Structure 1
Amino acid sequence: MWCNDFKKAFIGSELTCINAEGKTLSRIYLDSAASTLAFAPAQQATQAFLKYYANTHSSVHLSAKISSEAVAWAHQRVLSFFGATQGYSAVFQGNGATSPLNRLARGLSELRADKSTVLVSLMEHHSNDLPHRAHAKKVIHINIQDATGEFQGVDLIELEALCKAHQQQLNYIAVTAASNVSGHITPIYDIAEIAHKYGAYIVVDGAQIAAHAPIQLAQDNPQRSIDFFVFSGHKTYAPGSPGVLIGKTQLLDQLKPEFYGGGMVSEVSKFDYSVSGLLFDKEHAGTLNIPGIFMLATTLDFLDRVGMYSIYEKECMLTQYLIEMLQTIEGVKVYANTSNTQRIGAVSFNIQGLPHELLALILNDYFAIAVRNDCFCAHPFVRECLVDELWEIEDETQLPLYQGMVRASIGLYTNKADLQALEHALTCIVNNKAYYVSQYKLTDELHFVHKTFKLETQQYFNIEDTLTNCFSDYLSKEKISMYEQREEMA
């Protein structure tokens, strides 16, 4: 069930901005594929927990026991959200998907040193590409285009042929569950079945899909189950939470520890040490990000109560509306625009003849619409999409201005009115392109800046003023004044 004021549950969803014409506008956030807004109730639940916060690895005093129980609950909550309660474990690491993916690339290359080859799709985020290049002896990229050069996603027939050809050396296949450039969903269960047929593992980057579509890691047919799944808390409405690696316990057990220190050992002497036999302890040296783990689990609990199928259906309708709307605007090109696969709400586009950075700036400066631009840390995929357009540019000095796209991406707080506002903005830009272009100048570093309007971030968030206000109840005015004077002298 969707609440009428559901949008208000997200911090920042009601932010207002002053645009280049001096008007106060409601900010429209269409950059969820990079990071989502924070879910306020989960923040509130975490604040309630912090009253009892202490370190784990103890059950002697009240707070330590509560913290230990909170982490244990969060671990199981994460697993159940992804249908991985039997035979799977979760590892909390880093600030996003990058650390867990690096951990897997290193660990799997050591675990099966005789398996030198890894297959990686060409639409991966750098986080699910570069670690494998760094640690595997050989990386083969899976083609995602058909014979005509059009995007098709992972072709399962071609993939199986690759697996068969490299069967003796194949360690694992690494694919994204959904592209952060185009939103296209990858058939991960089909790929898992192919990988297992040829003795390989499957590593799935789930950063883009975790908050947008239901995932069931353990399938009725074990051959279709996912071996390793990685996702990011900051893309799942819980900024400040860690990245997460979910993997089959029997496989994670075989990996050497990534970090060494307190909590991951069972015994230490002057001459020797013993690594803990408990997987969760072995994988978590040092102090956990306990509040972040708890906040992430509470957010997932809410998503489960809403229902991931309901969320997916709603966002599918918005995504379809977004694509159809973009296609009606003259001069707008949508990339990887095929209906062959299902999609989540991340759609990349450009306006013909307008550099991607300039378009993103105009949307922000005049319409208070926040979008992402550039190559989204997926350079190979973006370049494949742009190759024909860039080839047609005669002035090579202009090439850097067009080597990227603009991406609009949606979240739980996105509604049809937000997308209609984007439609209005893009239509205005297309119809008045010369005017908007004339308001900006190009710097020597090939970046655009407005000629008269300057975005004053201090107007919205001044760190010193914020700290002074927050500290005022605990520090005298004299101490605050003395500190400010010292800072000015320094």
Structure 2
Amino acid sequence: MIYFDHAATSFPKPKEVGEAMLEAVNEYGANPGRGGHFLSKKAGKIIEETREKLMDFFSAPSANHVWFYQNATMALNQAILGFPFEEGQHVVTTAFEHNSVLRPLNRLVEEKRIDVTYVEPDENGLITTEAIRMVVTPHTRMIAVSHASNVTGALIDLKAISDIAKQVNAVLLVDASQTAGTIPISMEEQGIDLLALAGHKSMLGPQGTAVLISKQDYGLKPLITGGTGSHSELPEQPLQWPERYEAGTLNTPGIAGLSKGIDEINEVGIESIYKHEQELMRSCLEGLKRLEGISFYGPTDLTKRLAVLSFRLEQIGSHELAIILDEHYKIGVRAGLHCAPRTHHSLATIDTGLVRVSFGPYNTKEEVETFVQAIEEIVTAFQ
């Protein structure tokens, strides 16, 4: 099968990822941090080594500032719902956000009576720095942005937005689920305060892994409390990091696999991965533009977007097209609203949805050519 759904999760994974997970289950499947015996220490060592790799990968202040979660949704919920907002305080976010940001913010509007401003894209499909600057106020406590849209791939200038956040003493929360592993990210250089990301997308790790990295102590309240393996005598969650934000048993096999995903990115080179995926997107876009009846969405300047291509055919619905590609051509794509309803409202596609094609490091130009040919055949059949 040709797999073009990397924005949802990357596939296939490097073989070392699965091997590391199997080794964790079969050879040291003990509970990390919950015992002083050899196997527990081995599991704990793998987790700490992965923390350190993530610290280096994203220029985090310390490995203890790297916290593991089941998915990016949980990481973002911890950052947003755990933040010490007070009634009347303000959050700036964008129309490009995933429901993992939109729904927690909506909950805070209802429960804490905060105010939220949603910045819309400009005529070029971009969220501009100036648009964000115009809506921040002295009451703005957080600016929450996706590094790139999961629908259009549109990128955002994190450093410029960080500068705006610092001017009003706000915290910059970045959802890097789409960019981590394919675009270099430095918390230090780009001024990121809270960085959330999925381990199973461009980081090439398995599902069930995600990370929240906190630059410093923002007074986040732990959303989940319970066992930490240390300070068990305390009636409340300990203050010590990372235990404060990691109640319960961690996903040791998943984290071991994520570690090997990071190794693969470092070996291939993140710049090479980005270049390869961009070339595939350009080739796909050029091929599809020769056909009639296709509407494309996202920045026309391809240097300002990821290798994510969303489109719609006039003759056929998005879901039906995805089914045809799957059942007749063995090509996997994503159709629908992509858990980003405000994005589709902005694009005026909330009623139709879009077909999204997203590329990964192991896709080939030949696969792109096969896809373009399939779309050409479908377009011809419906004329």
| Deviation, structure 1 residue 87 | 8.3
Letter in 2 for 1:237: L
Q: Give distance in 1, aligned partners of 2:339 and 2:36.
A: 46
Q: 2:221 aligns with which of 256, 261, 271?
A: 256
Q: Is 2:91 the counterpart of 1:91?
A: no
The residue matched to 1:431 in structure 2 has which SS? helix
Kindly tell me: are residues 383 and 115 of structure 1, through their superposed partners in 2, closer, same or farther at Cα, counting changes over 3 Å? Answer: closer
Aligned partner of 1:481 in structure 2 is none
**Structure 1 unpaired stretches of 5+:** 1-26, 391-399, 435-490
The residue matched to 1:204 in structure 2 has which SS? strand
Aligned partner of 1:243 in structure 2 is 210
Q: Is 2:85 the counterpart of 1:75?
A: no
Sequence identity percentage: 28
Q: Give distance in 2, aligned partners of 1:337 and 1:262.
A: 47
Letter in 2 for 1:410: F
The residue matched to 2:273 in structure 1 has which SS? helix
Q: Give distance in 1, aligned partners of 2:316 and 2:232.
A: 63
| Deviation, structure 1 residue 203 | 0.8
| Deviation, structure 1 residue 420 | 0.4
Q: Give distance in 1, aligned partners of 2:277 and 2:302.
A: 18
Letter in 2 for 1:124: E
| Deviation, structure 1 residue 430 | 1.3
* Superposition CA RMSD, Å: 2.0
Q: Is 2:53 the counterpart of 1:104?
A: no
Aligned partner of 1:279 in structure 2 is 241
Q: 1:124 aligns with which of 69, 75, 97?
A: 97
| Deviation, structure 1 residue 85 | 4.5
Using structure 1 for the length normalisation, give the TM-score.
Answer: 0.73
Aligned partner of 1:442 in structure 2 is none
Letter in 2 for 1:172: M
Q: Is 2:176 the counterpart of 1:206?
A: yes
Q: Give distance in 1, aligned partners of 2:320 and 2:172.
A: 39
Q: Give distance in 2, aligned partners of 1:327 and 1:171.
A: 43
Q: Is 2:98 the counterpart of 1:162?
A: no
Q: Give distance in 1, aligned partners of 2:94 and 2:238.
A: 36
Could you list the per-position Cα deviations for residues 435-485 of structure 1 after superposition, in whole angstroms to 9, with x for gaps in the alignment?
xxxxxxxxxxxxxxxxxxxxxxxxxxxxxxxxxxxxxxxxxxxxxxxxxxx
| Deviation, structure 1 residue 369 | 0.9
Q: Is 2:8 the counterpart of 1:34?
A: yes
Aligned partner of 1:322 in structure 2 is 284
Aligned partner of 2:161 in structure 1 is 191
Q: Is 2:320 the counterpart of 1:371?
A: no
Q: Give distance in 1, aligned partners of 2:32 and 2:315.
A: 57
Could you list the per-position Cα deviations for residues 235-255 of structure 1 after superposition, in whole angstroms to 9, with x for gaps in the alignment?
23223332211111333xx22
| Deviation, structure 1 residue 114 | 5.6
Q: Give distance in 2, aligned partners of 1:242 and 1:86.
A: 19
Is 1:53–1:66's contact at 8 Å kept on the other side of the alignment? no
Q: Is 2:166 the counterpart of 1:217?
A: no
Q: Is 2:107 the counterpart of 1:140?
A: no
Q: Give distance in 2, aligned partners of 1:245 and 1:320.
A: 32
The residue matched to 1:266 in structure 2 has which SS? coil
The residue matched to 1:141 in structure 2 has which SS? strand
**Structure 2 unpaired stretches of 5+:** none
Q: Give distance in 2, aligned partners of 1:415 and 1:78.
A: 28
Is 1:81–1:301's contact at 8 Å kept on the other side of the alignment? no
Q: Give matches, 1:353-392, under 5 Å.
A: 353-386=315-348
Letter in 2 for 1:241: G
The residue matched to 1:427 in structure 2 has which SS? helix
Please say which structure displays the higher CA radius of gyration: 1
The residue matched to 1:296 in structure 2 has which SS? helix
Aligned partner of 1:153 in structure 2 is 126
The residue matched to 2:65 in structure 1 has which SS? strand
| Deviation, structure 1 residue 60 | 2.6
Q: 2:258 aligns with which of 265, 278, 296?
A: 296
Could you list the per-position Cα deviations for residues 149-168 of structure 1 after superposition, in whole angstroms to 9, with x for gaps in the alignment?
x34311212211211xx22x
Q: Is 2:379 the counterpart of 1:430?
A: yes
Letter in 1 for 2:164: I
Kindly tell me: are residues 86 and 115 of structure 1, through their superposed partners in 2, closer, same or farther at Cα, counting changes over 3 Å? Answer: farther
Kindly tell me: are residues 337 and 284 of structure 1, through their superposed partners in 2, closer, same or farther at Cα, counting changes over 3 Å? Answer: closer
Using structure 2 for the length normalisation, give the TM-score.
Answer: 0.92
Query: Following TM superposition, where does structure 1 have runs of at least 4 consecutive aligned residues deviating by more than 3 angstroms?
Result: 85-88
Q: Is 2:19 the counterpart of 1:44?
A: yes
Aligned partner of 1:178 in structure 2 is 148
Aligned partner of 2:37 in structure 1 is 61
| Deviation, structure 1 residue 86 | 4.5
Q: 2:195 aligns with which of 210, 220, 229?
A: 229
Higher RCO by CA contacts (8 Å cutoff, separation 6 or greater): 2
| Deviation, structure 1 residue 181 | 0.4
Q: Give distance in 2, aligned partners of 1:412 and 1:341.
A: 18
